[in-house]
Chains A and B, each alone.
Chain A
Amino acid sequence: NAGVTQTPKFRVLKTGQSMTLLCAQDMNHEYMYWYRQDPGMGLRLIHYSVGEGTTAKGEVPDGYNVSRLKKQNFLLGLESAAPSQTSVYFCASSSRDGPYEQYFGPGTRLTVT
């Protein structure tokens, strides 16, 4: 039982390049989330999904897109990377049944130069 996994672990992009971060969970959770963590700012929600085929914007969605084609996978895309998107990205999941305890992946450290 791997829990929540994220690929890649590290990535360096040049400004304007694109990439996709993959999150996978094997706990059969309905809800999945993408966060970014920046020093001194805590975690901020980018996008979330309450089920296969549905996504919604969180607190800081600009510059990102997401897709949830399969229940176990949640993809985060950067179409044109900017230095402001340098951050650590975390994926999390939770069951749709309360109390919605969140389980996190190990994170992806992204640097945009």
Chain B
Amino acid sequence: KQEVTQIPAALSVPEGENLVLNCSFTDSAIYNLQWFRQDPGKGLTSLLLIQSSQREQTSGRLNASLDKSSGRSTLYIAASQPGDSATYLCAVSFGPTDSWGKFQFGAGTQVVVTP
């Protein structure tokens, strides 16, 4: 069974510092990878999706990279703000048999940005 791991489980940084969140997966034959944000008691909000043919995706202060050979994706959040406090989850779709969109989720990294 493919596994998705996010370490650390929790992270606290002062405002203004860059955030680096890690996601590791055991099978390099991935189809795509999606990063989500989850606020307490809320649903998941999609941040970025990286297809297997891409090495990175950017949206505003967010940048996600993908290294299939090492089984790793990294989400960078530049100049963190208290509003970035949330849990961040990564989800991996393993192909080709799962390439229609079934994702395996990591347990998430809980981030606190202190003013």
Residues of A with Cβ closer than 8 Å to B? 4, 31, 33, 35, 40-45, 48, 50, 58, 90, 92, 94, 96, 98-107
Q: Please state if A90 and B44 are interface contacts (CB–CB under 8 Å).
A: yes
- 4 tightest A-B contacts by CB? A100-B101, A104-B44, A42-B105, A42-B107
Question: Which of A43, A96, A101, A107 is in CB contact (< 8 Å) with B105?
Answer: A43
Chain A residues with CB under 8 Å of B105's CB are 35, 42-44
Interface SS of chain B: helix, strand, loop or mixed? strand
Give Cα A92 to B36, complex, Å.
13
The tally of residues in B whose CB lies under 8 Å from a CB in A reads 26
Task: Please list the residues of chain B having a beta carbon within 8 angstroms of any beta carbon in chain A.
Answer: 4, 9, 31-32, 34, 36, 41-46, 49, 51, 89, 91, 93, 99-103, 105-108
Query: Would you call B106 and A42 a contact (CB within 8 A)?
Result: yes
B10, chain A: closest CB distance, angstroms: 11
Residue from B45, B99, B101, B106 with most neighbouring chain A CB atoms (10 Å) = B101
Q: Which of A33, A43, A96 contacts B89 (CB 8 A)?
A: A43
Interface residue SS majority, chain A:
strand
**Inter-chain contacts of B108 with A (CB < 8 A):** 42
A107 in contact with B107 (CB, 8 Å):
no
Contacts A48-B102, A104-B44 known; A99 to B107 CB distance under 8 Å? no
